[in-house]
Amino acid sequence: MPYQFAADRENYADYAGGKVFHSLPGYPAFPVRLVSEMFQRCLAVRAAHGLSGPCTLYDPCCGGAYHLSTLAYGHWDDLEMLIGSDVDEQAITLARRNFALLTLPGLDDRIAEIETLLKRYCKPSHAEALESAQSLRARLCQLTQAHNLQTHLFHADVMRSQTLQEGLDGRRIDIVLTDVPYGQHTTWQIADTARPPVWQMLESLRSLLAPDAIVAVASDKSQKVVHADYRAVAHFQIGKRRIVLSMVR
Ligand SMILES: C[S@@+](CC[C@H](N)C(=O)[O-])C[C@H]1O[C@@H](n2cnc3c(N)ncnc32)[C@H](O)[C@@H]1O
C-alpha cells in the first residue's frame, strides 16, 4: 500500500486549487494527499536519525506553491519555515498570493474578494469558496495561536548554487521537498544539457543542506534521482510518480 501516513482519504475539498488557494492555467497543482505523505515520510526518516521539532522546508521548483500552502495547513506544528523558489517569475507571483493565505490578514483579504464575487455573480461556486475560506480561517486562528509560520520566496534557477545561496541568505534547510518538471505540464529550464537536470539540482543543493537533511523528489519514471554524493533512504511510487528520499553521504 503506497500511502503509509496519509492513509485516510481525508476530505480535502477546502484545499481545492482555484477555490480559496490560487491556481492558474499552466501551473500544475501537486496532490494534497501526496505532498502530505512525502512530508510525513521525511519526518519518519528524521525521527529515525534522532531528529525532531519543527523544520525548515524548501522547494526549489515550487511553482505556485499551492502544495506548500496546503501542507502548511495540515502540518503547521511540524514546520518552522517554508521556503520556495522557482525559475519562473510568474510562478513566484502566484506563490506569494498563496503564501499570503497563511496569514490572517491575507486570508481576510481573500475572504473579502470572494464575498465581492458572490455579491456580483451569485454563483454557487463562490458560496462554496466562501464556506471553505471561513473554515480555513477558523483553522488558521487556532494554528497561529501556537506560532506564526515564517515564509520566504525568491526567484532562482535551481541549477545555479550561488543564486540559491544568495536567495536562502544563510537559512538552514532540513527538508527539500520538490515535484520536478516532467514535461506534461511543465518542462525543465536548463542551460547545460550535458548532465541530467535532477543530477544538476542535487549538485547545486549539496552545499546548502543542514547535516542529516532529507531531499525528497517526486518525478516521472524516466528521471533518475541519483548523485554519487547522496544515498537513497526510501522510495515509493504513487500512480505515475516515483518519489525518492535521499540524504547526503
Ligand atoms: C511540476 S511544477 C511544480 C508545481 C508545484 N509543485 C505546485 O504544486 O504548485 C515544476 C516547476 O519547476 C520549475 N522549473 C523548471 N526549471 C527550473 C529550474 N531550472 N530552476 C527552478 N525551477 C524550475 C517550473 O517553472 C515549474 O514551476
Give the pLDDT confidence of 57-90 residue by residue, as tens digits: 999 999 999 999 999 999 999 999 999 999 999 9
| Domain-embedded: residue 72 | yes
| Domain-embedded: residue 80 | yes
| Domain-embedded: residue 106 | no
- 86 CA distance to ligand 1 centroid (A)? 6
Q: What's the average model confidence in pLDDT over 113-122?
A: 97
The Cα–Cα gap between 39 and 71 comes to: 8
Find, among 59, 58, 60, the residue nearest to 80 by Cα.
58
| Domain-embedded: residue 112 | no
| Domain-embedded: residue 95 | yes
- 131 CA distance to ligand 1 centroid (A)? 30
- pLDDT grade, residue 7 (50/70/90)? confident
Per the structure, how many domains does the chain have? 1
Q: What's the average model confidence in pLDDT over 216-223?
A: 94
Q: What's the average model confidence in pLDDT over 201-214?
A: 95
Secondary structure class of 55 (helix, strand, coil): strand
The Cα–Cα gap between 7 and 19 comes to: 24
The pLDDT, as a whole number, for residue 29 is 87
The pLDDT, as a whole number, for residue 235 is 95
- pLDDT grade, residue 1 (50/70/90)? low
| Domain-embedded: residue 128 | no
The pLDDT, as a whole number, for residue 191 is 87
Indicate which CATH number applies to the domain containing 165: 3.40.50.150
- Cell numbers given for 119: 455579491
| Domain-embedded: residue 12 | no
Ligand 1 site, CB within 6 A? 27-30, 60-67, 86-88, 91, 157-159, 179, 181, 186, 188-190
Nearest CA owner, ligand 1 atom 27: 63
pTM over 0.85: yes
Domain housing 190? 31-101+151-248
The pLDDT, as a whole number, for residue 2 is 83
| Domain-embedded: residue 56 | yes
Q: What's the average model confidence in pLDDT over 116-133?
A: 97
